[in-house]
Structure 1
Amino acid sequence: MHIDTLLNSVKQQAELNINDIKLSVSSGWEQGRTLYGGISASLVYQAMREAVDSEKVMRSLSTNFIGPIEAGSDFSIIVEVLREGKNVTQVVGRVLQDNKVALMSQASFGIPRQSKVNVSDPLQHKMDYPEKPNFMPQIPKVTPKFLGHFDLSKNKGGWPFTGTKESAVHGWMRFKEQPSVFSDAHLIALIDIWPPTVLQILCSPAMASTMSWNLEFIHPHQKVSGVDWFAYQAQTRQAADGYAHTEANIWDKNGTLVAISRQVVAVFA
């Protein structure tokens, strides 16, 4: 099931009734016993996007993964506009399955405005474009199914459960089967594909789950295509007591910072 099929279903249903969006996502998007968090957040974002004026772009997205979303079973996306101002609109989206809230997101959308404040981000990733990608190995019953939709190429750090001392991950990412038109919804789905930075420290497989994910988009985005690689650099800010705090920067093919990502991850090891 291609991501465009899912996003288009959200768009079509939202045109009829923004508060009655029903979906079922195939097992090819599974991550353990739930759907891959990036696809879940992307679909909720798309529903919220349809409830907001197109001139307002997403500035921030905060998502809490509350419970598992079962693949192959129907769930609903409920959208509520909390406040619609002249410049900024605040929206909440929820995923309900079996009458239980499984995911909740809050997004802020804002129009571009003329401003005397203009500060460019000086940080560069300094990584060579992946001419010979170092792909993540596909290990049965270990590598999540959803990763079959993406390409990951690592530059720094280790793969999960390899017992490295490194706690940062640098690399490149893209869709394996390109979207027809690359949108912010696709970028949300793409950013979350990397395993938590701390899993590489472990020597054997263990459970881990993202509790909360905060994503900030840097605008304006330059136009990219579905085949373009995005650069990704994540670091562990702190980890203890079974929880890890990580943050990442994401650049497009032109070296422009497009997003900042932060997560709180529960690690059961």
Structure 2
Amino acid sequence: MSVQSFLAPITGQTAVIDLPDAENWMQGRTLYGGASALIAYTYAIRAFTDLPPLRAAQVGFVAPVGGRVELQAEIVRQGRSVTQLRSELYQDGALALTAFFLFAEPRKPNALYPTRKPSDFPPPAEESEDVMSDKGPNFLRNNFEIRRAQNVSGPGEPVVRRWARLKNREELDPISELILLGDVLPPGAMRAMQRQGPISSINWSFNLLETNPQTEDGWWVSENASQHANNGYSSERLRLWNSEGQQVIDGLQSVAIFG
């Protein structure tokens, strides 16, 4: 089933909806974070159809999200060029996800400092080894292709970098595609864990560096890097590049490390 079919029940009207094929996107007892964030974004842009391009988001993963959700959204403030909007998912009447989206029209630039292609940018995806096809959570195996983008494995520096693309992305706009992909990898702290244990994303904030991002054949380079891990939590920097090495997302996430 395509992502568009999964999102089809979202009409922009406040309602309780059943998401088709929701089990395909489950990560344990909740929807994968990128999928639940995309639901909130899709509801926002279908409820308010004249929004400027998305520039940034702050997402709080409050509680597990299942296949039946109630959707609510409101414009918090609308200025001449910037619109700030809150979109929320409720499960059984309780808040499960809250997202604060910032939409903004472009301005004449007064500061120019483009991101640089990493010096260790990986070889093309078609030359890279397939990974995760026979392991990892169901949502990952069912919906994404993952290939190696770094020459390391196992314990070590807390950085996880992979090529990633959606298997079924027909007629999906590029911003929705990036929201699905931006949180797809496990945290970099996984490489620093002293023993195996569960992990859980608590929040996710990101800036979009391009409003119409493009890449070759659907492949993006995703990286999660722990900046600090202790006391059961990791502060992670999440970045996404296109196939040419142009950065398109710069993000931050707090992750709970159990076990």
After TM superposition, the score normalised by the length of structure 1 is 0.87
Partner of 1:145 in structure 2?
138
The Cα of 1:255 is off from its aligned counterpart by 2.3
Aligned to 1:5: 5
Q: Alpha carbons of 1:202 and 1:239: their partners in 2 closer, same or farther (altered >3 Å)?
A: closer
Which residue of structure 2 aligns with residue 120 of structure 1?
A: 114
Say which SS state the counterpart of residue 9 (structure 2) adopts. helix
The answer to whether the aligner puts 1:88 opposite 2:82 as a matched pair is: yes
CA distance in 2, matches of 1:158, 1:265: 22
- Residues 114, 157 of structure 1: CA spacing in aligned structure 2 closer, same or farther, 3 A cutoff? same
Residue 190 of structure 1: how far off its partner (Å): 1.1
CA RMSD of aligned residues (A): 2.2
Answering whether residue 77 of structure 2 is matched by residue 77 of structure 1, we say no
Distance 1:134 1:203, change over 3 A: farther
| Per-residue Cα deviation, 1:39-77 (whole angstroms, up to 9, x for no partner) | 00011011112344546111111101011112xx41111
Label 1:116 to 1:137 Cα distance change in 2 as closer, same or farther (>3 A). closer
Q: Is residue 156–residue 168 contact of structure 1 (8 Å, CA) maintained in 2?
A: no
* Percentage identity across paired residues of the two chains: 23
**Partner residue, 2:185:** 194
Q: How many residues align structurally?
A: 256
Q: Partner residue of 1:245? A: 235
Unpaired segments ≥5 residues, structure 2 = none
Residue 242 of structure 2 corresponds to residue 258 of structure 1: no
Aligned partners of 2:234, 2:127: CA distance in 1, in Å?
31
Aligned to 1:111: 105
SS of structure 1 residue aligned to 2:171: coil
Does structure 1 residue 38 correspond to structure 2 residue 34?
Answer: yes
Describe the SS at the equivalent of 1:42.
helix
The AA in structure 2 aligned to 1:64 is G
C-alpha spacing 1:116/1:204, structure 2 compared with 1 (3 Å): closer
Q: Residues 220 and 189 from structure 1, CA distance in 2 versus in 1: closer, same or farther, beyond 3 angstroms? A: closer
Alpha-carbon offset, residue 96 of structure 1: 0.6
Q: Which amino acid aligns with 1:229?
A: W
Structure 1 residue 196, shift from structure 2 partner:
1.3
1:157, distance to aligned residue in structure 2 (A): 6.8
Question: CA-to-partner distance for each residue in 1:79-99, whole Å, 9 max, x for gaps?
Answer: 111111111001001111111
Q: Is 1:233 equivalent to 2:226 in the alignment?
A: no
Q: Are the equivalent residues in 1 in contact too, given 2:146–2:165 (CA < 8 A)? A: yes
Compute the displacement of 1:204 (Å): 5.3
CA distance in 1, matches of 2:211, 2:26: 32
CA contact (8 A) 2:228 2:235 kept: yes
Distance 2:51 2:214 in 1: 16
2:24 counterpart (28, 32, 43): 28
Amino acid at match of 1:69: V
1:134 positional shift = 2.3
Can you list the C-alpha shifts for 1:161-208, whole angstroms capped at 9, x where unaligned?
x5x123111221101223224331121011111011112334654111
Amino acid at match of 2:124: Y
**144, 147, 167: which is aligned to 1:176?**
167
Gaps of 5+ in 1: none
- Counterpart Cα distance in 2 of 1:123 and 1:131: 19
Within the alignment, does 1:156 sit opposite 2:147 as a pair? no
Query: Structure 2 counterpart of 1:61, which letter?
Result: A
Match of 1:66 among 62, 85, 95: 62
Match of 1:99?
93
CA distance in 2, matches of 1:179, 1:254: 22
Q: 1:24 to 1:222 in 2, by over 3 A?
A: closer
